[in-house]
Structure 1
Amino acid sequence: MVCLRNKLRFKIISQTLLGVFIFLFYCEYLVFYVVQMHCSWPKLDPIKKEPFIDNTEDPVKIMVLADTHLLGSKNGHWFDKLRREWQMHRAFQTAITLHAPEIVFFLGDLTDEGSFCSDEEFNYYVNRFYSLFSTRVPETIRIYVLVGNHDIGFHYAVNPHLTQRFVDGFNSPSVQLLTVRGNHFVLINSIALEGDGCSLCKSAERQIAEISQLLRCTRNSSLSNCDQKMKLATYSRPILMQHYPLYRESDIECDDFDAAPWSIKQERFRERWECLSRDATYELLTQIKPRLVLSGHTHHGCTRNLSVGKGVEITMPSFSWRNKNNPNYGLGVFAADNYAFLKCDMPREDSVINLYILGGTLLLIWFTYLLYQSFRV
């Protein structure tokens, strides 16, 4: 009788542990595939095709993320850090497996304490970022990183050392022009757009002006000051990427599924803090003339028409569950004469928590029932 009871108790414990393992496997691994597999690449709409652009190239497929905010040693609890990094790593690797983009863009605020941490900790940030978002990623996928205010500080706190260590660590100059099969991606350091004559600002303004001239000459080589060296192979309206959103008074008009809660929507944006200044926005839009602007920073989603020219700005929410209950990432298909873009859901934080509560309750009931049965033997 004692031997039989011991066997029953061993069976109860082993079955319960198996249940715990299966439940953890689903909530911490499989759920990412279950949710993210519902998202697929958007289709180009022939109606949106831009006239007068001759395109024979295959479209480029990109993935866009914003505000990972890898936690640091000062403000990040070790468990919170472990949890958030695992979630982002798992969601990212799942997206890479399911979608296999050609290019991945990170729209700034990679770090949470990069603007004031030591060089030693910043190097840890760099290594940690690449271990989370580069390990096991095929070499054919290119990763580009933009800088955010948490990486080097707001404009008033930026110094050459903070800027340069980010550039060196993530290979991310203040202004970049990336051309892929007739698509021109312009990557800009938002913190360099203050217009106050600082060395960082003057350098960025000069490079933006050069890109603007290059795009103008590619579109119309008969313009003055244009020669064959100042011409790209194909003209298309560029895609502008930066950390800050363009100027807007608030998120009050944002009605995306991942938009901010109503109380936050009503908060008025401060120029150069929550968004670019009105002047910087006007200069960017008139010089670059983008068809699409992709931004981050606010931790909430927003889609709105550009204030100058024909185009759209899409603000991406934070990729971290610490900042957003329903984080997501974007998938874009770009041809020189057309594009399509959508956001992909990831598991909601509250849904996973509710699953844990439900599963834990069911496991406890099951364990108690089996234990009760064993005592009746």
Structure 2
Amino acid sequence: MRCRLNLKSFKQRLKLFFFIMCLAAFHNECFVYWYDSMKWPRVNCLQSEHEQLCQRILVVSDPQILGLHEFLGWIAYTDSDRYLAKSFYYALHYVKPDVVLFLGDLMDEGSTSTDDDYQFYKTRFSSIFDTSTFKSKVIYLPGDNDIGGEGTDHVTRSKIERFNANFPNQIESVYGNIQFVVVNRIIGDFSLPSVSNVDDKFRVVLSHIPLTFIPGIFSREVMQQLKPNVIFSAHDHRVAMATTRKNDSRYFEVGSFVDDSTVIKKQINDEDCTEVIWPTCSYRMGVVKSGYGFATIRNDGQMEVGVLWTHSRFWTLNLYLLVIVTCLVLNAFSKCFKSFL
């Protein structure tokens, strides 16, 4: 009889612990992503007959999908892939972008991988960042983790050609009221692309490495030759904004994102250039906060920018650990209590 009671009690505890784990899994794998989206700032620029037309831009910076040589291997990259895929899905459906910008460092081991591994990373990347829902125009930039350029990992022609073959792109792209121009500060070549001069378009220069934040010959040539209205960059894994005056190299006004729901409004003009550094969207980059950037540019030059911050995956992983430990402690306490009685 005692054995039957103990077995029945064990089954009841097992059912309770299983229920608690299911609640934790629902919270960590579903609820938190939805809750993130509920806190995101509202995008005022809507494409309807009652609003001025604008272009919606979703910015993905430094996703750096993990490689095969990562600690814990497939467990680590599978969990990271799932986090990126789910958070990107919500960001994509929130912004409903006309253009999606991938500002470099698409892969963590892209520059040093073999061709076979590279194709495996490319397949994973395409699965994670599926943009087919909205048929958005997609622009890819190479980062130093994709083609080299950091430390002893040198840039080579074969790395550049491999990236371009897998992520085909154009130096100049025009969409709606925006002319996008891609520049590459990594390769050490100060020559800039020849682009068409479109007077009725706002010129947005795209660079993996920040330009106006890091003064130099290349930055000066970009400002003088391309005359950008806006610069979008990445690499630093943080969010920052600054405005420079095209005819005054000493003018440098820094803007700030005061809280998570901040939306900064800027009027694009021919005298100023605003650069935005976008944060990484990966929780594995050693930063406290990660997220996706968004920008909207209306036909009259009114630009709104903000960040769609996402939750810390490490916090939810620790929650799993806390639930498991709590269940084990309660189970042990229950056995001790029965033994005492």
Question: Is TM more than 0.5 here?
Answer: yes
Task: Flag the 1:168–1:327 CA change in 2: closer, same or farther, 3 A.
Answer: same
Specify the alignment match of 1:326 in structure 2.
289
Matching residue within 265, 274, 278 for 1:312: 274
Summarize the alignment of residues 219-258 of structure 1 with structure 2, pairs less than 5 Å apart: 219=199, 235-248=200-213
- The answer to whether residue 312 in structure 2 is matched with residue 348 in structure 1 is yes
- The answer to whether residue 294 in structure 2 is matched with residue 298 in structure 1 is no
Whose helix fraction is larger, Structure 1's or Structure 2's? 1
Q: Which range moves more in the overlay, 364-373 or 281-290?
A: 364-373
Specify the alignment match of 2:145 in structure 1.
150
Task: Flag the 1:99–1:370 CA change in 2: closer, same or farther, 3 A.
Answer: farther
Matching residue within 51, 56, 61 for 1:61: 56
Question: What CA deviation, in whole Å up to 9, does each residue of 1:196-235 have, x standing for no partner?
Answer: xxxxx5xxx2xx33x1xx22xx33xxxxxxxxxxxxxxx1
Asked whether the equivalents of residues 319 and 329 of structure 1 are also in contact (C-alpha less than 8 Å), the reply is yes
Structure 2: gaps (5+ residues): 46-50, 247-270
- The answer to whether residue 37 in structure 2 is matched with residue 12 in structure 1 is no
- The answer to whether residue 126 in structure 2 is matched with residue 130 in structure 1 is yes
Question: What CA deviation, in whole Å up to 9, does each residue of 1:240-272 have, x standing for no partner?
Answer: 211000143xxxxxxxxxxxxxxxxxxxxxxxx
Task: Flag the 1:98–1:312 CA change in 2: closer, same or farther, 3 A.
Answer: same
Specify the alignment match of 1:165 in structure 2.
162
Asked whether the equivalents of residues 147 and 155 of structure 2 are also in contact (C-alpha less than 8 Å), the reply is yes
Q: 2-side partners of 1:164 and 1:192: how far apart?
A: 13
Specify the alignment match of 1:31 in structure 2.
32
Residue 126 of structure 2 aligns with an amino acid whose one-letter code is Y
Specify the alignment match of 1:281 in structure 2.
219
Q: 2-side partners of 1:182 and 1:356: how far apart?
A: 47
Task: Flag the 1:131–1:5 CA change in 2: closer, same or farther, 3 A.
Answer: same
Q: Which has the higher contact order (CA 8 A, sep 6+)?
A: 1
Percentage identity across aligned positions?
22
Q: CA RMSD in A?
A: 2.7
4+ runs deviating over 6 angstroms: 373-377
Residue 121 of structure 1 aligns with an amino acid whose one-letter code is D
Query: Under a length normalisation based on structure 2, what TM-score does the superposition of the two structures give?
Result: 0.80
Report the 3-state secondary structure (helix = DSSP H, G, I; strand = E; otherwise coil) of the residue aligned with 2:139.
Answer: strand
Residue 244 of structure 2 aligns with an amino acid whose one-letter code is L
Specify the alignment match of 1:254 in structure 2.
none
Deviation, 1:77, is 3.8
Aligned pair count?
Answer: 306
Q: 1-side partners of 2:288 and 2:29: how far apart?
A: 16
Task: Flag the 1:102–1:376 CA change in 2: closer, same or farther, 3 A.
Answer: farther
Question: What CA deviation, in whole Å up to 9, does each residue of 1:100-148 have, x standing for no partner?
Answer: 323221100101122222111111121111011117x415233321111
Q: 2-side partners of 1:29 and 1:110: how far apart?
A: 25
Whose strand fraction is larger, Structure 1's or Structure 2's? 2
Report the 3-state secondary structure (helix = DSSP H, G, I; strand = E; otherwise coil) of the residue aligned with 1:158.
Answer: coil
